Chain A
Amino acid sequence: MMRDPNFGFVLAAYCVAAFVVIGMIAGTLLDYAALKKSLARLSARTGRAVDDGQK
């Protein structure tokens, strides 16, 4: 396979695909982590502010 003259293009295509797919996964996961963190911080804060309120 490596002897094929166009091997570089195949490799580049698979790298681009890996980059895009990993990018989408990482984007979603990082977003999730950030949201979780601010949700925890916020509910702690509002929990102090409103004891009986929204949970």
Chain B
Amino acid sequence: MPNYANPAEFLRLARIAVPVTAALTGVLFAVGLYLALFDSPPDYQQGETVRIMYLHVPSAWMAMFVYIVMCSAALGTLVWRHPLADAAQKAAAPLGAGFTFLCLMTGSLWGKPMWGTWWVWDARLTSVFVLFLIYLGIIALWQVVEDQGKAARLVAIFTLVGGVNIPIIKFSVDWWNTLHQSASVFRLGGPTIAMSMLWPLLIMALAYTSLFLTLHMMAIRNEILRRRIKRLAMIAAAEGEAAPVAGIFPEPAE
């Protein structure tokens, strides 16, 4: 592996990369939002409501993408035992939950005018909802296990178990949904999508991805700093000058 796997090297890389990706995110969002809001046609059937799609569909993609990122980081934790992989896992979980929450909220706001109800137990909505629950479980597991190295390995196992399960859950929910198909459900997104709608969708997806990469790097940096603070707090405590830093409890060495 390259030197970027070293936390100090990562901090140096992040100092350069974060401003670049942040600027890229800003540009992509500016273009994407302009296309989505002003330079794309209203749908002949859904009218202006189709504009919610440019928020909703990319966030659903991100909800899955972030999970894949977490699975790769989980492998890094279990196979190579790398502290940076631990930080990458921990940093990704709240972001994934955020994108999934965004997907559910915009889906609900899209469903109300289209389906006439805030929530339907549609297969896709239900699967995303279950994914959201899994994200919350992962965050909860991070919070309750005190030793962060151990937490990383336990979360990694659960993330991988969830990763095996998610396709099964998706399949089951699809099957369950056809079993209980309600007649009046409006089918979202046909097989074809007009070019004029595809472009804003793709640019918004890129903007979301770039946003995630930026925030992920920043959050990994936070985790590295948090670890450093713990180590310093322990040194201070060992020197007999217990430094009460707000919210940080010294803990035994890993």
| Chains A and B come from one and the same complex | yes
Interface residues of A (CB under 8 A from B): 1, 4-7, 9-10, 12-14, 16-17, 20-21, 23-25, 27-29, 31-32, 35-36, 38-39, 41-43, 45-46, 49-50, 53-54
Q: Is the CB of B106 within 8 A of A13?
A: yes
Residue pairs across A and B with Cβ atoms less than 8 A apart, 17 shown, are: A1-B48, A4-B42, A4-B49, A6-B47, A6-B113, A7-B48, A24-B94, A25-B215, A35-B222, A36-B225, A38-B246, A39-B232, A41-B243, A42-B232, A45-B243, A46-B239, A50-B239
Q: Does B150 contact A (CB under 8 A)?
A: no
Main secondary structure of the interface of B (DSSP, over half): helix
Q: Is the CB of B109 within 8 A of A12?
A: yes
Chain B residue numbers with a CB within 8 Å of A17 are: 55, 59, 102, 106
Interface residues of B (CB under 8 A from A): 37, 42, 47-49, 51-52, 55-56, 59, 94-95, 98, 101-102, 105-106, 109-110, 112-113, 211, 215, 218-219, 221-222, 225-226, 228-229, 231-233, 235-236, 239, 241, 243, 245-246, 248
Measured CB to CB, the nearest residue on chain B to A55 is B232
Q: How far apart are the CA atoms of A29 and B210 in the complex, in Å?
A: 17
Query: Of B42, B110, B228, which contacts A39 at CB under 8 A?
Result: B228
* Nearest CB of A to B25, in Å: 10
